[in-house]
C-alpha cells in the first residue's frame, strides 16, 4: 500500500526550490548587512525547555507540541519555534560573557500539531532573528526594520506593521487583574477556551477569533493605559526610532502574542490576501527569558517570519513565479566511443562553470536533440564518430539553429568566451 506524507507536512519539489533559495539568500544577505550571524540549533530539545520558555499556559505547550520519549526515557520535543533553542544555546555556551549585543539569525523547520489549513502546517519554516544584550529602543526598531526590509526584498512591499507594548512584570499583573475584572461578568458568553484563559492567561482573551468573544473584547480595557513609566518611555522610544527610519506602523493595543515570554514591544505583520492565517511575521522583546532559562539577566528581542505564508502571499500577488534552473548546454553523442568522449568533455565544461546536461540510455540522435530542446539549454554539443576522428565538436545554438565546429581542446575557452559575451548568469 502507498504511504503518504504525514498530515500537515509538505514536500518542497524542485519546481519550488528556486523560490526557497531566493528567500533564503535574501535573508542571509540582509542579515549580513545588519550584522547578524547564523546559528543552527537542534530540531529536537528537551521538553522542559519549551515548557519553561514558551510558557505552560500557551496553546503551543498545552496542545501543539510533538512530544515523545526518546529511548533513554527522556521527554523530548520537536521545536515549535526558534527562540527558546537560541536562548538555550546563548546560555549554554556562555555567549552572554562576550561583548554584547549578540545578533543571531536562523532558518529552519518548526513543528506544531495544529489543525492544518491554508497557511497553517504542522511542519513549517521560519526565518528568525534574535538580539541579546540590549534594551535600547533603537534595537527594537532595528529588528523591526530588518523584518520589514526582508519582506520588501522578498517582494511584499507596503504591508501593515502592527505594534503594541505588552508591559512588563511590574505593570502587567495589574492589567491582568483589570482584564479579569472586566471579563468575569461575561464568562457565560465566552467560548470554552476563553473561559479557561480567563484565569490562566487573560491577555489571550483579546485575540480570540470567536465572534462573540470578539464583541466582548472590544470593550475591554487597553494595556496602553496600564503601562508603567519605564514601559511607556520604551514604547515611545521605539516609535521615535521607527519614525526616524521611515517605517509606518499602526498601534494595536489588542495585539497579544501566542507565546508567554514577551515583555514590552510586540509586533506583527499581516498580509490580508492570504486569508485567516495572514500573519507573515511576528516578534517582540523578551527581557526575562534568558534569566528564566538559567542565564544571567540579559534582555532580548527578535522576530520570526513564516516562509510558507510568505510564499503563499507572493503567489497571491503572482510575484513568486519560480525560475527554472537554467541550463547552458546539452550534450548529444552518437556511437559508443563518442558517448564516452562526451562524458569526458562535459566534465571539463562543468569544471569551467558550464551548466551541462546530457541524455542517457543510448537514444537516437533525433530523440537526444529533442531532449536538448526540452531542457531549455542554449547550446547542443554534438559528438559523432566523424567529429571525434577530426577532434572537434559541433555546437548548435538552439535559439537560432546556427552551428559551428569547435576543436575539442578549445572547449573551455569557447565556453568562457561565450559566457562573457552572452552575459549568462553565473550562479
Contact set with ligand HAM (CB under 6 A) = 81-83, 112, 114, 119-121, 124, 126, 128, 130, 258-259, 279-284, 302-304, 306, 308-309
- Output the nine-digit C-alpha cell for 161: 506593521
Residue nearest to ligand HAM (CB): 306
- Residue 385 in contact with residue 335, Cβ under 8 Å? yes
* Closest CB to ligand HAM among residues 257, 378: 257
Helix (H, G, I), strand (E, B) or coil at 125: strand
Smaller CB separation from ligand HAM, 146 or 398 = 146
Smaller CB distance to ligand HAM: residue 264 or 345? 264
Question: ω into residue 101 within 30 of 0, thus cis?
Answer: yes
Q: Which long-range contacts does 343-351 make (Cβ < 8 Å, 24+ apart)?
A: 345/381, 345/383, 345/393, 345/408, 345/411, 346/381, 348/411, 348/412, 349/381, 349/411, 349/412, 349/415
Query: Closer CB to ligand HAM, residue 16 or residue 339?
Result: 16
Sign of the C-alpha dihedral, residues 225, 231, 237, 241?
negative
Residue nearer to ligand HAM on the CB measure, 36 or 124? 124
Residue bearing cell 547578524 = 36
Task: Quote the least distance from Cβ 386 to ligand HAM, whole Å.
Answer: 58
**CB of 203 closer than 8 Å to CB of 176:** yes
Helix runs in 35-191, H state only: 47-53, 59, 83-92, 137-154, 172-183
Answer yes or no: are the C-beta atoms of 151 and 145 closer than 8 Å: no
Query: Which one, 112 or 241, has the nearer CB to ligand HAM?
Result: 112
Task: Return the exposure string of 124-160: e unless at least 16 CB atoms fall within 10 Å of the residue's CB, then b.
Answer: bbbbbbbbbbbbbbbbbbbbbbbbbbbbebbbbeebe
Give 130 or 142: the residue with its C-beta nearer to ligand HAM: 130
Measured from the CB atom, the residue of 287 and 375 that comes closer to ligand HAM is 287
Angle, helices 411-422/336-351, rounded to nearest 10 degrees:
50
Strand order of the β-sheet with 44-46 is 44-46, 75-78, 66-69
Q: Which is nearer to ligand HAM, 264 or 358 (CB)?
A: 264
Least distance between ligand HAM and beta carbon 120 (Å): 4
Compute the least distance from the CB of residue 36 to ligand HAM, in Å.
Answer: 12
Distance in Å, CB of 243 to ligand HAM, minimum = 22
Proportion of the chain in helix, strand, coil states, percent, rounded to 5: 45, 20, 35
Nearest distance from C-beta of residue 317 to ligand HAM, angstroms: 16
Q: Looking at 179-270, which runs of residues are DSSP E strands? A: 250-251, 265-270
Query: For the purposes of burial, counting CB atoms within 10 Å of the CB of 57, is it exposed (0-12), middle (13-18) or buried (19 or more)?
Result: middle
Q: How far is the CB of 5 from ligand HAM (least distance, A)?
A: 15
Rounded to the nearest 5 degrees, what angle is found at the Cα of 267, between the Cα atoms of 262 and 268? 125
Amino acid at each position: 500500500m502507498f504511504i503518504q506524507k504525514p498530515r500537515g507536512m509538505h514536500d518542497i519539489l524542485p519546481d519550488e526550490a528556486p523560490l526557497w533559495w531566493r528567500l533564503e539568500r535574501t535573508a542571509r544577505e540582509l542579515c549580513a548587512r545588519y550584522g547578524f550571524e547564523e546559528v543552527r540549533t537542534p530540531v529536537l530539545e528537551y521538553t522542559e525547555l519549551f515548557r519553561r520558555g514558551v510558557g505552560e499556559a500557551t496553546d503551543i505547550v498545552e496542545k501543539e507540541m510533538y512530544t515523545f520519549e526518546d529511548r533513554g526515557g527522556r521527554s523530548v520535543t520537536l521545536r515549535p519555534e526558534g527562540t527558546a533553542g537560541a536562548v538555550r544555546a546563548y546560555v549554554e555556551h556562555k555567549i552572554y560573557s562576550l561583548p554584547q549585543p549578540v545578533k543571531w539569525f536562523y532558518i529552519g523547520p518548526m513543528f506544531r500539531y495544529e489543525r492544518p489549513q491554508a497557511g497553517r502546517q504542522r511542519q513549517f519554516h521560519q526565518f528568525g532573528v534574535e538580539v541579546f544584550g540590549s534594551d535600547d529602543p533603537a534595537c527594537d526598531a532595528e529588528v523591526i526594520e530588518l523584518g520589514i526590509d526582508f519582506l520588501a526584498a522578498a517582494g511584499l512591499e507596503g504591508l501593515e506593521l502592527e505594534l503594541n507594548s505588552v508591559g512588563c512584570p511590574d505593570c502587567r499583573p495589574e492589567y491582568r487583574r483589570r482584564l479579569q475584572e472586566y471579563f468575569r461578568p461575561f464568562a457565560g458568553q465566552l467560548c470554552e477556551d476563553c473561559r479557561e484563559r480567563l484565569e490562566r492567561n487573560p491577555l489571550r482573551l483579546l485575540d480570540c477569533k470567536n465572534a462573540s468573544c470578539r464583541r466582548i473584547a472590544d470593550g475591554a480595557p487597553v494595556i496602553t493605559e496600564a503601562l508603567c513609566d519605564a514601559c511607556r518611555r520604551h514604547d515611545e522610544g521605539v516609535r521615535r526610532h521607527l519614525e526616524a527610519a521611515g517605517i509606518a506602523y499602526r498601534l494595536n493595543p489588542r495585539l497579544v502574542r501566542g507565546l508567554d515570554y514577551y515583555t514590552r514591544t510586540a509586533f506583527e505583520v499581516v498580509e490580508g490576501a492570504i486569508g485567516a492565517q495572514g500573519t507573515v511575521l511576528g516578534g517582540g522583546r523578551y527581557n526575562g527569558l534568558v534569566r528564566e532559562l538559567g542565564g544571567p539577566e540579559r534582555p532580548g528581542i527578535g522576530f520570526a517570519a513564516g516562509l510558507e505564508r510568505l510564499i503563499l502571499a507572493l503567489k497571491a500577488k503572482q510575484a513568486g513565479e519560480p525560475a527554472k534552473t537554467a541550463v547552458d548546454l546539452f550534450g548529444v553523442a552518437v556511437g559508443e566511443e563518442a558517448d564516452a568522449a562526451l562524458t569526458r568533455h562535459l566534465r571539463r565544461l562543468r569544471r569551467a562553470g558550464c551548466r551541462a546536461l546530457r541524455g542517457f540510455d543510448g537514444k537516437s540522435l533525433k530523440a537526444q536533440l529533442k531532449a536538448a530542446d526540452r531542457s531549455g539549454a542554449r547550446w547542443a554539443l554534438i559528438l559523432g564518430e566523424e567529429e571525434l576522428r577530426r577532434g572537434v565538436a559541433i555546437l548548435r545554438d538552439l535559439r537560432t539553429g546556427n552551428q559551428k565546429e569547435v576543436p575539442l581542446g578549445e572547449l573551455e575557452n569557447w565556453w568562457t568566451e561565450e559566457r562573457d559575451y552572452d552575459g549568462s548568469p553565473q550562479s
